[in-house]
Amino acid sequence: MSVHNTPTPEGGRKAVTLPRLLDMKAKQEKIAMLTCYDACFAGLLDNCGVDVLLIGDSLGMVLAGMPSTLPVTMEQMEYHTRCVAAGNTHAFVVADMPFGSYQQSPQQAYANAARLMAAGAHMVKLEGSSWLAPTVEFLRTRDIPVCAHLGLTPQSVHAIGGYRVQGKSSQDAKLLKATALQMQNAGAQMVLFELIPAALGAEISRTLKVPTIGIGAGVDCDGQVLVLHDMLNVFPGKKPKFVRNFMDNQSSIQQAIESYVRAVKDKTFPAVEHQF
């Protein structure tokens, strides 16, 4: 049995599992997620109480200096997943499926998802819309947990015309709600929403039985995620509206991460100024 699924001794932190995440939703306990790309930060985030570590394809931009997430390869995702798994003890680990690794067929998606699971992921995340449902079902029936990524999907940035808020019109909101339910029915055990109106994030979160994670999707999602380098204010350039600099008034990275966890848990983040 993997150490990642083994509870700690009495009184210590227990491993975060899918049943635990479902229980957190049921009890309205907020889920704190951050991106993570290496063993050192995995250990730090885990010790600071971060519930979910996301090996995001954002590593292409924040680690490799790429202009977008599109050039990220399976080999890079596999390597960084293995690094994070090595440094983690209790947090739940989600790995992004990079562009081109799952769009061709469910069989292609399974082959690549299996590589990430073998590297130490507990769940894989895929971006898409209704066309993705058969792939989600194919993976779920083969015991690969799936997080569906809806709203703004950075891998489709050229198709949707840039980094824009999604679901603003009544028609688009209706479609997004229907797609979220479709993903859940296909077997997705978590749904992440990026850059959607806060009211829509709240409505969908109330509707779904599985945990919802928001990034620019409002405070009423079941959990929140940020890119680690954004919330530590080390990634250059203008930050998105939904980002808060948690290094403000903190003397260490550890304190900044602990402040983020507290803010998510007590619902002070995201505040009104971080929402759409």
Each of the 276 residues of the chain gets a pLDDT tens digit; together they read 343 433 343 347 899 999 999 999 999 999 999 999 999 999 999 999 999 999 999 999 999 999 999 999 999 999 999 999 999 999 999 999 999 999 999 999 999 999 999 999 999 999 999 999 999 999 999 999 999 999 999 887 777 766 788 999 999 999 999 999 999 999 999 999 999 999 999 999 999 999 999 999 999 999 999 999 999 999 988 889 999 999 999 999 999 999 999 999 999 999 999 999
What's the start-to-end Cα distance of the chain, in Å?
A: 43
Is residue 273 part of the annotated active site? The answer reads: no
Answer yes or no: is 266 a known binding residue: no
pLDDT in the model for residue 161: 67
Nearest to residue 222, comparing CAs of 25, 20, 34, 21? 25
The pLDDT value given to residue 187: 98
State the pLDDT at residue 245: 97
Is 222 known to sit in a ligand binding site? no
Annotated binding-site residue? 51 = no
pTM to 2 decimals?
0.94
- Active-site hit among 10, 78, 194, 203: 194
Please indicate if the annotation marks 127 as binding a ligand.
yes
Answer whether 215's CB lies under 8 Å from 194's CB. Answer: yes
